[in-house]
């Protein structure tokens, strides 16, 4: 059992400003962190930026400013974006910091002393433009190196190598012994296949003549370490790891309480960086198998089926979208319109459609009509009754299929799921919402609150409270309807709070509920997502539009 739920993301390259793909990963991590806080877990969420390396050195040179200044400006853009999107992290990693350098150098020295790092000469074809050695894989069908490599020359260069291949058998057995080393399953298979093919060691240095924007090797001042070795170490250096202590049990308690992490990364950096280099690095510096982190691999947002890239000029700017439609609209779209592990196609039109249908028309409308009715028919006060309205919302076509997870695997609800009523649905929080969110299937986790909202709206249409209001004998039923809607809204707010924290506060504010914790995340707790907590006589506020429709986008 983890003492702390420790979650990390990839650290973003600071050679160019953030795009929608970066935003997706960080919002996803933030949602998972918020969900665990909602459950009452202690959470530590680390994210940050990758500031060294050739790409940064080149971009800075192009901009005509020193790399340190260049990364400072880009780093600020990432910090600003996370603030704008309510991505709330506990620690911020910057790889140029002294604290990180000390850990990287400490690990390098330990591996060098243990004979895990050695110097060797490499001879081969080198692309001057791309500043890298080329292998046969880079040759075109005609056997030549294509024009993208520019001038290619034969070179000899000395470098330091990490004995990666020595640990191949260990990595295979680790993967075979742990079913959930990588999530989703198909990525674990992909990794295993790649490890099978592993041969050769990893070059972990660059001569300073070629690259000087990096961390110097502690045992040879003529070299800096290659960017992956530097970047991957961030996960432990910012979690309190002390490189001078070789066993985990001797590490400071801050580190031991946090580690191992759930590491969220994109599909492009599983093989070889995280799945091979990182896991082997940890093993080589003494991490036992039960301290190897779990990798959660997400898919990519594409545009018109094509990869987004700066060179193709099809980058989606998250600042522009958040300014135009609001941070919550963007968070909602990024979390609801992609299945965990799969790719999705970005579309602003879809963003607007989903916002308007799920949030403005369904949830926003529900909040508005509930508070209007509470004010009109109950002088703003709720009345508890023993009437259980469930049958009234049954037999309605359920728009989306709800998935129930058993033993962590998603399966569909039985075909009679359409028979579920509002109260049945609310009782399904532990069977639908919790397993979906615990398995990081956020888009599935959002289905239950959406369904509850839909059922509530249908309940209003079916029972026509405005007609009941004309008949004094129906007053209890009318109160019961309003109470059911208000309780449902309170529970919906809790369930959406990881994805839509501002809207969840908005709903609680209008319900005039837990006002002493207004604006604070502690206001929401999963334990309170059960029926019947709003007390008799509770006074609610007047309605204020929560999700104004986005028109003509
Ligand atoms: N700096 C390295 C990671 C080092 S981790 C020790 C890096 N940076 S990156 O800026 O290129 O990418 C950061 C993260 O964003 C990666 O997990 C990557 O998969 C993710 N994404 C980049 N483009 C993306 C999309 N279009 N869609 C979704 N995620 C994407 O790699």
- Output the CA 204–ligand 1 centroid distance in Å: 21
Q: What is the pLDDT of residues 352-381, one digit of tens each?
A: 999 999 999 999 999 999 999 999 999 999
Judge whether residue 219 has pLDDT over 90.
yes
pLDDT band at 309 (very low <50, low <70, confident <90, very high): confident
State how far the Cα of 545 lies from the Cα of 548, in Å rounded to an integer.
6
- pLDDT tens, residue by residue, 226-247: 879 999 999 999 999 999 999 9
Please give the mean pLDDT across all residues of the chain: 93
Q: Is the peptide bond before 38 cis (omega within 30 degrees of 0)?
A: no
| DSSP state string for 253-315 | HHHHHHPSPEEEEEGGGIIIIIIIIIHHHHHHTT--GGGSPEEEEE--EEBTTB---TTTT--
* Strands of the sheet with 220-225, listed across from one edge: 205-207, 220-225, 216-217
Which candidate, 190, 174, 498, places its Cα nearest to that of 341?
Answer: 190
Q: How far is the CA of 453 from the centre of ligand 1 (A)?
A: 35
How far is it, in rounded angstroms, from Cα 321 to Cα 305?
20
CB-CB contact of 347 with 529 (8 Å): no
pLDDT at 395: 57
pLDDT digits (tens, 9 = 90+) for 178-193: 999 999 999 999 999 9
Residue nearest to atom 25 of ligand 1 (CA): 21
Identify which of 14, 263, 268, 301 to mutate to test ligand 1's pocket (most ligand atoms within 8 A of the CB). 268
CA distance 21 to 264: 13
- CA atoms within a 13 Å half-sphere pointing along the CA-CB vector of 192: 17
- Give the per-residue pLDDT at 433: 93
Q: Model's pTM, two decimal places?
A: 0.95
Alpha carbon of residue 483 to chain centroid: 35
* Parallel, antiparallel or unpaired: strands 220-225 and 205-207: antiparallel
Q: Count CB atoms within 10 A of the CB of residue 189.
A: 12
Percentage of the chain exceeding pLDDT 70: 95
Q: Is the pLDDT of residue 417 over 90?
A: no
- Ligand 1 centroid vs 11 CA: distance in angstroms? 8
The answer to whether 241 and 103 are in contact (CB under 8 A) is yes
Q: Which atom of ligand 1 lies nearest, measured to the CA of 10?
A: 5
Statement: residue 207 has pLDDT above 90? yes
Position 553 pLDDT exceeds 70: no
- Closest C-alpha to ligand 1, atom 21: 21
Q: What is the mean pLDDT of residues 455-477?
A: 95
- For ligand 1, atom 17, the nearest C-alpha belongs to 266
**Pocket residue to mutate for ligand 1, from 13, 17, 269, most atoms within 8 A of Cβ:** 269
Residue 394's pLDDT is what? 79
Burial of 210 (0-12, 13-18, 19+ CB in 10 A): middle
Phi then psi for residue 45, to 5 deg, are -120, 120
Residue 101 has pLDDT above 80, yes or no: yes
Q: Is the pLDDT of residue 408 over 50?
A: no
- For residue 487, how far is its CA from the centre of ligand 1 (angstroms)? 40
Which residue minimizes the CA distance to atom 24 of ligand 1? 21
- Average pLDDT for 108-121: 98
The encoded tokens of residue 206 equal: 């660059």
The pLDDT of 112-131, averaged and rounded, is 92
Pocket of ligand 1 (CB under 6 A): 10-13, 21-22, 24-25, 50, 231-232, 234, 265-266, 268-269, 300-301, 308
Give pLDDT, residue 407: 43
Q: Whose CA is nearest to atom 16 of ligand 1?
A: 266
DSSP per residue over 399-468, as a string? SS--EEEETTEEEEPPGGGGG--HHHHHTTIIIIIHHHHHTT-HHHHTHHHHHHHHHHHHHHHHH-HHHH
Q: What is the pLDDT of residue 419?
A: 73
The pLDDT, as a whole number, for residue 130 is 77
315 or 275, higher pLDDT: 275
Instruction: Report which of 30, 61, 32 is spatially closest to residue 47, judged by C-alpha positions.
Output: 30
Model pLDDT, residue 1: 53
Task: Label residue 379 exposed, middle or buried (CB < 10 Å: 0-12, 13-18, 19+).
Answer: exposed
Dist. CA 403–CA 412, nearest whole Å: 5
**Residue identifier of the C-alpha nearest atom 22 of ligand 1:** 21
Domains and CATH numbers, the chain: 356-528 (1.10.730.10)
22 CA to middle of ligand 1, Å? 6
């Amino acid at each position: 059992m983890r003492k702390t739920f420790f979650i990390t993301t990839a650290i973003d390259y600071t050679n160019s400003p953030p795009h929608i793909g970066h935003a997706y990963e960080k919002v996803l991590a933030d949602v998972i962190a918020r969900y665990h806080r909602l459950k009452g877990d202690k959470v530590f969420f680390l994210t940050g930026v990758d500031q060294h390396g050739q790409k940064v050195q080149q971009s800075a040179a192009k901009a005509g400013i020193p790399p340190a200044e260049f990364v400072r400006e880009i780093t600020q853009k990432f910090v600003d974006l996370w603030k704008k999107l309510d991505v709330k992290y506990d620690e911020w990693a910057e790889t140029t910091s002294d604290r990180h350098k000390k850990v990287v150098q400490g690990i390098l020295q330990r591996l060098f002393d243990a004979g895990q790092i050695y110097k060797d000469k490499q001879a081969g074809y080198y692309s001057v433009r791309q500043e890298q050695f080329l292998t046969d894989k880079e040759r075109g069908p005609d056997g030549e190196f294509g024009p993208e490599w520019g001038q290619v020359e034969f070179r000899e260069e000395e470098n330091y190598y990490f004995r990666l291949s020595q640990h191949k058998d260990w990595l295979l057995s680790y993967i075979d012994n742990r079913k959930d080393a990588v999530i989703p399953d198909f990525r674990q298979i992909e990794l295993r296949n790649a490890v099978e093919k592993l041969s050769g060691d990893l070059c972990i240095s660059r001569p300073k003549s070629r690259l000087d924007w990096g961390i110097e090797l502690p045992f040879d001042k003529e070299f800096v370490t290659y960017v992956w070795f530097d970047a991957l170490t961030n996960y432990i250096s910012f979690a309190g790891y002390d490189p001078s202590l070789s066993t985990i049990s001797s590490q400071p308690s801050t580190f031991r309480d946090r580690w191992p992490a759930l590491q969220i990364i994109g599909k492009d950096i599983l093989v070889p960086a995280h799945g091979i280099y990182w896991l082997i690095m940890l093993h080589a510096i003494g991490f036992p198998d039960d301290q190897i982190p779990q990798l959660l691999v997400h898919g990519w947002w594409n545009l018109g089926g094509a990869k987004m890239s700066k060179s193709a000029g099809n980058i989606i700017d998250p600042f522009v979208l958040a300014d135009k439609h609001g941070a919550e609209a963007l968070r909602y779209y990024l979390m609801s319109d992609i299945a965990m592990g799969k790719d999705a196609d970005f579309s602003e039109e879809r963003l607007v459609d989903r916002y308007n249908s799920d949030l403005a028309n369904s949830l926003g409308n529900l909040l508005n009509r509930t508070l209007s009715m509470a004010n009109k028919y109950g002088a703003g006060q709720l009345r508890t009754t023993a009437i259980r309205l469930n049958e009234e919302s049954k037999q309605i076509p359920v728009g989306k299929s709800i998935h129930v997870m058993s033993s962590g695997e998603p399966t569909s609800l039985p075909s009679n799921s359409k028979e579920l009523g509002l109260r049945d649905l609310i009782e399904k929080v532990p069977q639908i919402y919790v397993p979906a969110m615990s398995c990081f299937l956020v888009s599935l986790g959002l289905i239950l609150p959406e369904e509850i909202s839909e059922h509530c709206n249908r309940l209003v249409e079916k029972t026509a409270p405005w007609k009941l209001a004309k008949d004094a004998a129906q007053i209890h039923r009318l109160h019961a309807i309003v109470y059911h809607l208000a309780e449902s809204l309170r529970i919906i707010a809790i369930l959406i709070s990881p994805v839509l924290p501002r809207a969840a506060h908005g709903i609680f504010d209008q319900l005039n509920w837990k006002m002493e914790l207004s604006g604070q995340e502690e206001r929401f707790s999963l334990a309170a997502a059960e029926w019947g907590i709003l007390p008799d006589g509770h006074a609610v506020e007047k309605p204020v539009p929560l999700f104004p429709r986005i028109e003509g986008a």
